[in-house]
Amino acid sequence: MTETTVTDPAAALPAGRRLEGKVAIVTGGGSRGPGIGTGRAAAVLFARNGARVLVVDRDEAAAKVTADMIAEEGGEAATFAADLTSPDDCTAMAAAAVSRWGRIDILDNNVGTEGAGTILDVDPAFWDRVIQVNVTTIVNASRAVIPVMAQGGGGAIVNLSSISATRPRGLTPYTAAKGAVIALTRAMAIDHAGQGIRVNVIAPGPIYTPMVSSEGMDPELRERRRKASPLALEGTGWDVGYAALYLCSDEARYLTGVLLPVDGGTSIRSPDR
């Protein structure tokens, strides 16, 4: 085989500036209470690496906490309050990013909600709500952003699923919704590859975030979740954020339609362990 010299697409970037010059939208970029959720972690890491970040959340005060963290580190961020189940809010979100920075290169979809029960006992309206929050928000946000990305020559989208999509555990509405996110991601990856847009999906495991802690998790359950990982580590929002950073960087330019578990090996552990 003939040896050839291939240019490293990220070699010219300064160390720690993997997203230099890019504009990112992070939905669900606040956190439900103090601490670091997956959206907040991604927004901070994107900004640390040179991106200008629009932090989007239904709770603008929570988004402002994230934006203030970015500003304190010398990064650039703005906030936008939106209900992403509304297509109009998503259109306005994309327009706000373009008005401020002229382009959109990255969309990190973090909005989600859990849902317990079976198809026999779950209320139909609740089922619809779980699908709407976990799946339709991604569709709405992506529909608003993709034309802008395409006009700018391409971009990267990261969606959040869950290992619950492939390991059901009594959360059937949630499992169905997060399974749909994986299928949607793969379809989008094919649909928009010709526009230079990569679409990948992260499946977090038992991550400890403000959303989890706000539900009143006791120390015993928290410890059991930690031990569910073969690594015996507790996953945090930062772990998911770093995965999103990689998938949105030029280092991942040859990755699209990929499902990346961020779960400390939980999803590959034998059920009897």
Residue 236: CATH number of its domain: 3.40.50.720
In a domain, 17, yes or no: no
pLDDT band at 236 (very low <50, low <70, confident <90, very high): very high
pLDDT band at 1 (very low <50, low <70, confident <90, very high): very low
Q: What is the DSSP letter of 202?
A: E
Distance CA 145, CA 255 (A): 20
In a domain, 231, yes or no: yes
Summarised one tens digit per residue, pLDDT across range 21-79 is: 999 999 999 987 788 999 999 999 999 999 999 999 999 999 999 999 999 999 999 99
Summarised one tens digit per residue, pLDDT across range 159-187 is: 999 999 999 888 999 999 999 999 999 99
How many residues belong to the chain?
273
3-state SS class at 106? strand
Q: What is the DSSP letter of 249?
A: S
Res 256 pLDDT > 80: yes
**What does the DSSP assignment read for 2-27?**
-------TTTTSPTT-TTTT-EEEEE
In a domain, 7, yes or no: no
In a domain, 160, yes or no: yes
Residue with the bigger pLDDT between 25 and 229: it is 25
Res 100 pLDDT > 80: yes
Alpha-carbon separation of residue 89 from 60, 82, 131, 166, 199 (angstroms): 13, 6, 18, 31, 22
**Which residue range is the domain that position 79 belongs to?**
23-264
- With beta carbons less than 8 A apart as the criterion, state whether 98 and 25 touch: no
**Which element (helix H / strand E) includes 244?**
helix 237-248
In a domain, 12, yes or no: no
pLDDT band at 220 (very low <50, low <70, confident <90, very high): confident
In the block, tokens 């952003």 appear at: 145
In a domain, 106, yes or no: yes
Q: What is the DSSP letter of 136?
A: I
Domain count, the chain: 1
| Active-site amino acid positions | 174
* Mean pLDDT, rounded, of the chain: 91
Q: What is the DSSP letter of 76?
A: E
Res 265 pLDDT > 60: yes
Alpha-carbon separation of residue 170 from 116, 203, 215 (angstroms): 6, 17, 17
